[in-house]
Amino acid sequence: MNAALRIGVHNRQRKLRVDVAALQVFAESALRAAMATKPRPASVWHELEQLDVMLVSDARIAALHKQFMDIAGPTDVITFQHGEIFVSIETAKANADRFHTTADAEVRLYIAHGILHLMGFDDTTPSAARTMAKAQERLVAAAEADLARRSSG
């Protein structure tokens, strides 16, 4: 894993207001926490120098979903192995309403999910999805704990 690995959060949608600066700080913290997690053998993690989180509309993510996965309709997050993580802000908002959380919390979850995919985790089987969900929860908790430590002292 490249110690100089960087992450950037980029707002590429105009549908909903997002706090890009706060998401950037979270993404950096999640990246630090991920560095303490062992990547899966098949991951591209050690080859990456830059991760880019692209915050997009449902229309944009639906187009990517169809083009690259041949699945119609929007999804929450799509990760490309060269380091791009596309996150639908509209889907995050809809899921936040559905799961009684916030759009910001959903986006943080999707960022962690994308990072884990780049580390070689997958969610293609029920067992793998459970393993990934647990790793995702740990990553979000570690990143949030890191943020809390940094803000308190």
**Res 2: pLDDT:** 56
**Res 44: pLDDT:** 87
Q: What are the residue ranges spanned by the domains of the chain? A: 6-146
Q: Could you tell me the fold of the domain covering 6-146?
A: Collagenase (Catalytic Domain) (3.40.390)
For the chain, which residues score pLDDT lower than 50?
1
CA distance 142 to 29: 8
**Res 3: pLDDT:** 64
Calculate helix-pair angle for 103-118, 20-34, nearest 10 degrees. Answer: 40
pLDDT tens, position by position, 80-110: 999 999 999 999 999 999 999 999 999 999 9
**Res 107: pLDDT:** 97
**Res 1: pLDDT:** 46
**Res 123: pLDDT:** 93
**Res 100: pLDDT:** 97
Angle at 91 between CA 130 and CA 52, to 5 degrees: 80
CA distance 8 to 49: 11
